[in-house]
Amino acid sequence: MSASLDETAAVQAALHALAPALGGGVIGGLTRLTGGASLQTWAFSCGQRELILRRRAQAGEQPNGAALSLATEAALLRLASQAGVPVPAVLRACAPQDGLGEAIIMARVDGETLGRRIVAGDAFAAIRPALAGQAGAALARIHAIDPAQLPALPSLGAADTLSHYEAVYRASGAVRPVLDVAFRLLARALPPPVPPRLVHGDFRTGNLIIDPKRGLTAVLDWELAHLGDPAEDIGWLCVNSWRFGAMEKQAGGFATLAELAAAYETASGRAIDTMRVRFWQMLGSLKWAVMCLIMYGVYASGADPSLERVAIGRRVSEAEADLLALIGEAP
């Protein structure tokens, strides 16, 4: 998405003032990157360093619940780095006087995030077999972070999550029979609670930076992190929407669930409960359907005319097809 000249000039001026705190040098190459319905992403350089600015976009309805503040996200990134999770280095959690609003500045990490290129591109063919091990290890390290070290986070179990998305769906006024059936089935199949651990909340292909030679170089977008069931992260990665056409590779389009589970179990010492993963996979597809509905609603109301909103909104029917397939496979 392009930015207005006034907005670009304002961001440029604020970054220029911050340059000494970022290591010094001239601010150059400021570019608003595509994507991001609630958060803006800007690339720029400061001297010889390639950096990324993430800042809160205009206030709008959040279909996936209240996102964490960027200051909290910065704290999580630092903890994750200490735990051995590949993440961008945080240079600054911006203060109000920095003139950028709610924002953080991070080191830019080389690699690709476009899912279709990662799961099907020839450039990634050699590294794809290693991604199950790298993703499994990253998830295990995230889930192993001591909850006592974490900043204040929401605690969301299966029942909480299902209830939240059903409330959002009902409030939308939409009538979608497939979603109605999915809500009823999942309410009957709620898994027993587990001791809450750190859950990334959006661990999927598209939020992972993949280098064609090194593999997983960074886990991005921690704004939905919370305390909950570790199986949620694994189930979300297995949602069909994040396979980008590589249907046979259940885990993110790059690995089978068995391959991911083996890597996770090796790194964590804990076995994956595939029935819990299956529940969260179905709930993930249902969540995505509701999120798509609300994204379109925000666009249709005129509250946000961005193409990202309407492009995501059109995918409700895809999520419904995925739900029907999962319902048909249920034992």
> What pLDDT digit, counting tens, does each position of 120-146 carry?
999 999 999 999 999 999 999 999 999
* Beta strand segments in 57-174, E: 90-93, 103-107
Give the chain's largest Cα–Cα span. Answer: 61
Q: Among residues 80, 107, 134, which one ends one of the domains? A: 107
Domain boundary among 107, 134, 154: 107
Residue of 198, 327, 194 lying closest to 272 (CA atoms): 194
Indicate if 175 and 28 belong to the same structural domain: no
* CA separation for the pair 158, 161 (Å, rounded): 5
Same domain, 155 and 265: yes
- Residue ranges, the chain, pLDDT below 70: 1-3, 35-38, 57-66, 299, 331
What does the pLDDT read at residue 36? 56
Domain final position from 107, 132, 159: 107
What distance in Å separates the CA atoms of residue 185 and residue 43, rounded to the nearest whole number? Answer: 44
Query: What's the predicted TM-score (pTM) here?
Result: 0.92
What is d(CA 208, CA 198) in angstroms, rounded to the nearest whole number? 18
Residue 234 belongs to a domain with what CATH number? 3.90.1200.10
Predicted pLDDT at 38: 66
Same-domain check for residues 159 and 89: no
Backbone dihedral angles phi then psi of residue 54, each to the nearest 5 degrees: -115, 130
Q: Which backbone phi and psi does 31 adopt, to 5 degrees?
A: -140, 130
Dihedral (Cα; 161, 166, 171, 175), 10-degree rounding = 150
On whether both 163 and 294 belong to a single domain, the answer is yes
26 and 156 inside one domain: no
Q: What is the DSSP string of 219-238?
A: E---TT-EEE-THHHHHHHT
Same domain, 214 and 320: yes
pLDDT (0 to 100) of residue 298: 79
What confidence score (pLDDT) does residue 35 get?
Answer: 58
Q: Are residue 134 and residue 154 in the same domain, yes or no?
A: yes
As given in the structure block, the two tokens for residue 152 are 């204040």
- Both 166 and 100 in one domain: the answer is no
Q: What is the CA radius of gyration of the chain?
A: 20
Within this chain, do residues 319 and 207 fall inside the same structural domain, yes or no? Answer: yes
What confidence tens digit (pLDDT) does each residue in 210-258 have? Answer: 999 999 999 999 999 999 999 999 999 999 999 999 999 999 999 999 9
**3-class SS of residue 88:** coil
Q: What is the CATH number of the domain that holds 65?
A: 3.30.200.20
Verify that 271 and 254 share a domain, yes or no: yes
How many domains would you assign to the chain? 2
Do both 163 and 65 map to the same domain?
no
> Sign of the CA dihedral 298, 220, 158, 135?
positive
d(CA 272, CA 267): 12
Q: Are residues 136 and 201 in the same domain?
A: yes
The domain of 310 spans 115-329
- Of 9, 259, 223, the residue nearest 133 (C-alpha): 259
Give pLDDT, residue 5. Answer: 81
